[in-house]
Amino acid sequence: MFAMNGNPVLDVGGTHVTAALVDTGTWSSRPGTRHRLPLRSEGTTAEIIETIARCAQTLGPLTGTTLTVAIPGPFDYARGIGRYEGVAKFDALNGVDVRARLLDAIPSPPDSIEFLNDAAAFGIGEWVGGSATDCRRSVAVTLGTGVGSAFIDSGVAVDSGPLVPAGGEVHFLQIDGRPLEDVMSRRAIIAAYRRHAIPDTAAAEEIADLDVREIAGLAASGDHAALRALQEPCQALGVAISPWLKRFEAEILVVGGGLTASWSLIEPPLRNGVERGAPGLKGLPIVRSRDPEESVERGAAWFSQPGQARETARA
């Protein structure tokens, strides 16, 4: 346990939950306070809530604090209620008052709990102390199970208005008449690799269980099918997002998520797609986040500060 000395935050993902105390002087997580627990997004309501609460407990008594929770959507962030229906994750939280359940489950609970979208937290964190610190307007995307996004204007996530896609979420976009996540997502990359590789091999069963990490490893070794499966979706993402980067007048595109481990493979096609979709964006900085986890924590802590916007803005 740690004495409270910083802003408590939680980063809830599909496979893990992380707790940390963020020093608002340095906007970094205090050494020794970050703890991670595995989390089953397909678990029961009780299992999910218990795991999140147990992770929060590692920060010590939270009485007198505001706990800020970064969590993926669909979620009613103002009311603290899950809206997970037909998204293959956190089904057990659909319609659940997560705020009330956590306040009941955490010993010495915080005075209040605030929620924000995890991609928004990442984008805000990059603006506060990451790659977008010198930019008024930045766009952040996360490449993991799907594509998360945030359009940031002076530290506020913009989720409505003519300058951003619906909800500020690029996964609602289409490419060649198909939903973007049918082209760029974990499942899409796996499906593309199987489609490209099977004609070239008699051992189809050997690739049946490969995940994106293994496919990226094959791509790095020069496997042609793996390269296509990885790079074509990144180019498609660039084409799809480019009109919105231009419309929002983004000064930088920051990329986070597990797929950035293969940055040397995915950055060129992503850049090519952006420049193909909007030639005027040639030269736009497209960078890999230095520390996506730290950025989410930093963004969540910034969001909880007095005077900061509790709701996202309209462009």
pLDDT at 315: 52
- Kindly state the DSSP code that residue 144 receives in the 8-state scheme: S
CA angle 26, 30, 118 (to 5 degrees): 85
pLDDT at 2: 44
E strand map for the chain = 7-12, 16-23, 28-29, 35-38, 66-71, 75-76, 81-82, 112-117, 137-143, 147-153, 156-160, 174-175, 178-179, 253-256, 286-288, 313-314
Residue 262: CA count within 13 A, CB half-sphere: 25
When pLDDT is averaged across residues 288-312 and rounded to a whole number, the result is 84
| pLDDT tier, 210 (very low <50, low <70, confident <90, very high otherwise) | confident
**Burial of 263: CB neighbours in 10 Å, binned 0-12, 13-18, 19+:** middle
CA–CA separation, 260 and 14 (whole Å): 18
CA–CA separation, 301 and 112 (whole Å): 14
More confident residue, 146 or 227: 227
pLDDT at 87: 76
Q: Which of 23-27, 90-94, 203-207, 281-285 bottoms out in mean pLDDT, i.e. has the lowest?
A: 203-207
Question: Which one-letter amino acid corresponds to residue 68?
Answer: T
The b-or-e profile of 223-257 (16+ CB within 10 A means b, else e) is bebbbbbbbbbbbbbbbbbbebbbebebebbbbbb
Q: How many Cβ atoms from other residues are within 10 Å of residue 294's Cβ?
A: 22
Give me the percent of the chain exceeding a pLDDT of 90: 79
Strands 156-160 and 66-71: unpaired
Cβ–Cβ under 8 Å, residues 220 and 230: no
Would you call 275 helix, strand, or coil by DSSP? Answer: helix
pLDDT in tens, 219-256: 999 999 999 999 999 999 999 999 999 999 999 999 99
pLDDT at 278: 95
Structure tokens at 284: 């736009």
Cβ–Cβ under 8 Å, residues 82 and 115: no
- List domains and CATH numbers for the chain: 7-117+295-314 (3.30.420.40), 131-289 (3.30.420.40)
The gap from C-alpha 38 to its chain's centroid, in whole angstroms, comes to 17
Strands 156-160 and 174-175: unpaired
Residue with tokens 């962030």, as numbered in its chain? 77
| pLDDT tier, 195 (very low <50, low <70, confident <90, very high otherwise) | confident
What's the start-to-end Cα distance of the chain, in Å? 42
Question: Which one-letter amino acid corresponds to residue 144?
Answer: G
Q: Is the pLDDT of residue 4 over 90?
A: no
Give whole-number Cα distances, 263 to 83, 216, 288, in Å.
Answer: 33, 10, 7
CA–CA separation, 16 and 18 (whole Å): 7
pLDDT in tens, 290-301: 999 999 999 999
When pLDDT is averaged across residues 64-91 and rounded to a whole number, the result is 93
Q: Is the pLDDT of residue 78 over 60?
A: yes
What rounded mean pLDDT belongs to the chain? Answer: 91
When pLDDT is averaged across residues 69-98 and rounded to a whole number, the result is 93
Q: Is the pLDDT of residue 309 over 70?
A: no
When pLDDT is averaged across residues 159-174 and rounded to a whole number, the result is 93
The DSSP annotation for 197-256 comes to: HGGG-S-GGGGTT--HHHHHHHHHTT-HHHHHHHHHHHHHHHHHHHHHHHHHT-S-EEEE
When pLDDT is averaged across residues 181-208 and rounded to a whole number, the result is 76
